Amino acid sequence: MTQAKKNLPYGLWPSPITGAMIGQGIRLNDARWSPDGHHLVWSQSQSGKTSLWAKAGPEAPFNLSGDLNPAGGILYGGGEFTAGKDGVVFTERNGRLYFAPFGPGRPRPLTPQFGSSAAPELSPDETRVVFIHTYEGRDVLAAVPLDGQTWPCILAHGADFYMQPAFSPDGRALAWVEWDHPNMPWDGTRVMFGLFDPHGSELTEVHQLDGGANISTFQPSFSPDGTQLAYLTNKGEWDQLVRFDFTTGAKTILVDGQALLPPAWAQGIRAIAWERDGSALYYLVNNLGTIQLRRLDLATRADTAVETGAFTKISQPSVSSTGALSFLAESPSLPSRLVTITDGQRTTVARSQSDAFHAEDLPTPRPFSWTSSDGIEVHGIYYPPANRNYQAEGLPPTIVHIHGGPTSQVMPGFDLDASFFTSRGYAYFAVNYRGSTGYGRSYREALRGQWGPLDLMDTLEGTQALVNAGLADPKKLVIKGGSAGGFTVLNALTHHPGFFKAGLCSYGVSNLFTLEQESNKFESHYNTSLVGTLPGAAQHFQEWSAIFHADQIHDPVAIFQGTADTVVLMEQSESIVNLLKANHVPHIYRLYEGEGHGFRKAETLLDFYQSMDDFLKQYVIYAV
């Protein structure tokens, strides 16, 4: 018999989803097969520590990296490892490459300790490793023998950035993606190709296969016989899956008019994979945030969805030499896991969380769209309050979540952040404002020169549409976001005081001028497209930097920051906190030692969520 729910005010429901639970969770990053298909290797992170694990057949998984901390150190990380027949090559947080055997023995270094590395790839004969390296602002494509006995050599240089190196099956050729400032990788990149000299230490006949200043390309992948190269590209509104034939020089568009390219914030992202015999290609397609895995038969052009069960978000597909398929998968009710499909049999290899979540304690996200005041359809995701034991009358207080990037997207996967609030009696509304990916190039590029006014406009109008639909209490709206999302939070509190009851801001941008001066290499020209070029755009920089208008902030705000953040430095938070103090604005400030751009440590996440819960009770739920 179903137990009757108890009546308790929104925001005060006891919840089984705690900050401790979130902090103890595992983040699955990537998974790849060894060339012989014998080992499946994956990367997972917990409480700020990353480790590599391997599993062979029915044997129990085992740890490969020990006390080392695998981490790609270029862009926003990623590209930690590659798998060989005898072990894995990975890049450590200290910038060095290591080889870790599947059998006995500790990881041994392959490169000196300087700079940062990412995206290692083993040659088919497993005698050398190609990788990306950065040092003192210079990025190169480099190679080092697997025995680590000689100094690395540079294969390609001159471009500002490199990504996704791939060997041909015979080891004689290399393909990769590169691009230059002021572009971001979704603006314009080049697919490059080169042949190795007999010693494997230089590339010859280097030339561009596709891409350009306004054409983005992604993940070149050789067919198993080496005669073809598949990759993704965007030349217009939507994306294409392309096949280049080396024997004829012909390019064939295999899939068109879909959202296929994920934004390359990190190294090591994969969206396509060849069938083991080259007869088909697996690829991911983004349909308004739901990511589906599909299989395209190259002979018949039959394009079918892969049966992945109830999962709504698939990533990192990989195919073994024996035909086994692996990928990371999740859904709103199923935590992220590593899944394999072998002969039609689906198996879970690793999990990020236990499945012991009651379905009624998890929200069911649904799309929510509205027409902006300038006539454009804008998108979001609405999560209603959900708790199997409690209910309340009236309209719920609502957390309006603004994603970072801003070139990113909230997708309806397993989201403990949303569930933390919905299980306590809040609604949760994720705004995919213009500038987000997944809705076409025009939608993403609408934010160019409009960062500040347009994301805020979409946030305010989307929230008002939610209120008009009877889904949110207009007197208890909370805006929440981190990084670029924090930028929108501060601008909302500055330019429209009183619209939101309170704000939750994590490592938010408060000063565009200092962001311009302190930005990392990857994003050093990002403001050029989003805001404009100084000094001409100084008025826009000033108008949308909350630090210059902090006297307009009257609503309570919680500020969270890490001391080791190199993307948004802690001065961005501390300067706004000092003004909040001077202006006697109700606020809290949590500074987390050793945390970077995004919180990882279990103790940090415990305090982070407890602080938000306490803050919201005081300034939203109990407030008059």
In this predicted structure, the answer to whether residue 123 has a pLDDT above a threshold of 90 is yes
pLDDT band at 54 (very low <50, low <70, confident <90, very high): very high
- Cβ burial, residue 446 (10 Å; 0-12/13-18/19+): buried
CATH number, residue 76: 2.140.10.30
Residue type, 454: L
Mean pLDDT value of segment 95-122: 95
Same domain for 410 and 393: yes
Same domain for 305 and 217: yes
Mean pLDDT value of segment 183-189: 97
> Which among 484, 289, 476 has a CA at the least distance from the CA of 381?
289
> Which among 52, 54, 50 has a CA at the least distance from the CA of 34?
54
Phi, psi of 196 (to 5 degrees): -80, 145
Same domain for 303 and 171: yes
Same domain for 293 and 160: yes
Domain assignment of residue 213, yes or no: yes
Domain assignment of residue 301, yes or no: yes
pLDDT band at 148 (very low <50, low <70, confident <90, very high): confident
- Residue 135: predicted pLDDT: 96
Domain finish residue from 288, 317, 351: 351
In this predicted structure, the answer to whether residue 1 has a pLDDT above a threshold of 80 is no
Give rounded-to-5 percent helix, strand, coil for the chain. 15, 40, 45
In this predicted structure, the answer to whether residue 3 has a pLDDT above a threshold of 80 is no
Whether 328 and 337 have beta carbons less than 8 Å apart is answered as yes
Domain finish residue from 306, 325, 351: 351
Whether 19 and 607 have beta carbons less than 8 Å apart is answered as yes
Q: Encoding tokens for residue 160?
A: 């500002």
Q: What is the pLDDT of residues 419-448, one digit of tens each?
A: 999 999 999 999 999 999 999 999 999 999
Domain assignment of residue 341, given as a range: 27-351
Mean pLDDT value of segment 488-493: 98
CA–CA dist 493, 490 (Å, integer): 5
Same domain for 404 and 480: yes
Mean pLDDT value of segment 153-173: 97
Same domain for 387 and 302: no
Neighbours of 353 (CB within 10 A): 18
Domain assignment of residue 575, yes or no: yes
User: In Å, how far are 95, 145, 157, 163, 362 from 139, measured between CA atoms?
Assistant: 13, 20, 7, 10, 44
Number of domains in the chain: 2
Domain assignment of residue 435, yes or no: yes
Q: What is the pLDDT of residues 441-476, one digit of tens each?
A: 999 999 999 999 999 999 999 999 999 999 999 999
Relative orientation angle of helices 484-495 and 453-468, to the nearest 10 degrees: 70
In this predicted structure, the answer to whether residue 624 has a pLDDT above a threshold of 90 is no
pLDDT band at 356 (very low <50, low <70, confident <90, very high): confident
- Residue 399: predicted pLDDT: 98
CA–CA dist 320, 308 (Å, integer): 17
Domain assignment of residue 1, yes or no: no
Same domain for 596 and 502: yes
Same domain for 479 and 569: yes
Task: Name, in order, each residue with C-beta under 8 angstroms of 539's C-beta and a sequence gap of 6 or more.
Answer: none
Domain finish residue from 316, 332, 351: 351
Q: What is the sign, positive or negative, of the torsion defined by CA atoms of 74, 605, 353, 311? A: negative
Same domain for 312 and 381: no
CATH number, residue 487: 3.40.50.1820
Same domain for 400 and 260: no
pLDDT exceeding 70 applies to what percent of the chain? 100
Neighbours of 277 (CB within 10 A): 11
Domain assignment of residue 498, yes or no: yes
Same domain for 387 and 275: no
Whether 91 and 132 have beta carbons less than 8 Å apart is answered as no
Same domain for 503 and 473: yes
What average pLDDT is seen over the chain?
Answer: 96
Domain assignment of residue 465, yes or no: yes
Q: What is the pLDDT of residues 511-525, one digit of tens each?
A: 999 999 988 899 999
pLDDT band at 2 (very low <50, low <70, confident <90, very high): low
Higher pLDDT, 218 or 200: 218
